[in-house]
Structure 1
Amino acid sequence: MLRKRGERAIARRADHEAQQERISKAVWSILAGKGIEHLTIRAVAAEAGCTTGLVMHRFPGRKALLAHARDLLHARTRVRVERLEAEAGTPRAALRAILAQGMALSEDSAQEALVWMGFLAASVGDEELIALHRKNNRAWRDRVERLVAASAPDWEPARVRTAVFALVGATEGAAQLGCFDPASYSAATQEAMLDSLLVAYGLS
């Protein structure tokens, strides 16, 4: 009896995780492919192939869906940048690698940039969503700051921070521009821009 109960509990947990995965994929797909105005409980349910009640059980409203999309984005990029940093031979190599992965250099990274923009657009006037953005963006800047400081150990803290804001602002801006005008802001152009910026700051 206990074994059967345990098996049923495992099956329910697996089903719950599968449902969560389908809903997460649906949120991501709508936000990246159709835009913020199409992100509704009904649309997510249709995309995930489940009921609106199931979606609302996990995400009671649009804000919860948006926060989930932002958390997904943060988790995806964190795993990737940790791998890139671990594989890099030097702090400067790691710096370039993690900055480049945040640009719209591939279909996946362009989708991430679109999700990021959709979240920001929805955050206007919403202090909770703004606070979530600031927290995640600060974690990103802290990582870049650590690598800049390691790449230029003789720099004063103020110089490090200035370089960090310039690098983060330039690469995130290029990602947004690349999503909507890939002919002008191709992957090669974005990477050339990044390399020129690193050279200008003495971080190449």
Structure 2
Amino acid sequence: MLRGERAIARRADHEAQQERISEAVWSTLAGKGIEHLTIRAVAAVAGCTTGLVMHRFPGRKALLAHARDLLHERTRDRVERLEAEAATPRAALRAILAQGMALDEDSAQEALVWTGFLAASVGDEDLIALHRRNNRAWRDRVSRLVAASAPGWGSERVATAVFALMSVAEGAAQLACFDPETYGPAAQEAALDQMLEALGLGPA
């Protein structure tokens, strides 16, 4: 193997290793909860040494921040696709709010990761700042779509509607995580649709 080929192979191995560690962080937090999110647990799931994990994540705080970043990346990519595919701003608004609910196994996992991160952030200004930054990016997107869906509304009315819609979507996701029989997908979507209709943001 030539020197350039060896370098490419090493880089590919390194990237695959980093991907396994990221997946291990996600699955450990989503599947076992914050108390089990440790360097040792992540290394076991990723099939590597604790030293290798610590080289990238020196402690639980770094693991949590990475999980929150992964969540932001996953949802950002998805909502950008949904918005691009939507026929109208109202259709886009409904689609991106619904994807934030716990409607299937993947979104339920995301809701668990989000809940675990919030619980761990209490009293930690760095983690709180990370949450605020990502949450405000989400709020800005919803605000833009609400304004586009109701161009005659003033800023105060838009802000109130955004708060109500985010509360429904995020609250439903949390409730469904721990009681999916009561708060199943149909119940969550019905609550969202009722809120959209009540606000005057239902299908045109």
Q: CA RMSD in A?
A: 0.8
Aligned equivalent of 1:202: 200
The alignment partner of 1:103 has SS state of coil
Q: Does residue 190 in structure 1 map to residue 188 in structure 2?
A: yes
The one-letter code sitting in structure 2 at the alignment partner of 1:109 is S
What is the CA–CA distance in structure 2 between the aligned matches of 1:58 and 1:7, rounded to whole Å?
25
Q: Does residue 18 in structure 1 map to residue 16 in structure 2?
A: yes
Question: By how many angstroms is 1:175 displaced?
Answer: 0.2
What is the CA–CA distance in structure 1 between the aligned matches of 2:123 and 2:3, rounded to whole Å?
48
Aligned equivalent of 1:51: 49
The alignment's TM-score, normalised by the length of structure 1, stands at 0.98
The alignment partner of 2:2 has SS state of helix
Aligned equivalent of 2:123: 125
Question: Among the aligned pairs, what percent are the same residue?
Answer: 83
Q: How many residues align?
A: 202
What is the CA–CA distance in structure 1 between the aligned matches of 2:117 and 2:162, rounded to whole Å?
23
What is the CA–CA distance in structure 2 between the aligned matches of 1:200 and 1:99, rounded to whole Å?
15
Question: By how many angstroms is 1:5 displaced?
Answer: 2.2
Which ranges in structure 2 are unaligned for 5 or more consecutive residues? none
The alignment's TM-score, normalised by the length of structure 2, stands at 0.98
Aligned equivalent of 1:77: 75
The one-letter code sitting in structure 2 at the alignment partner of 1:38 is H
Q: For 1:37-80, what per-residue CA distance to the aligned partner results, in whole angstroms no more than 9, with x for missing partners?
A: 00000000001000000000111111111110000000000000
The one-letter code sitting in structure 1 at the alignment partner of 2:144 is R
Question: By how many angstroms is 1:6 displaced?
Answer: 1.6
Q: Does residue 27 in structure 1 map to residue 25 in structure 2?
A: yes
Which ranges in structure 1 are unaligned for 5 or more consecutive residues? none
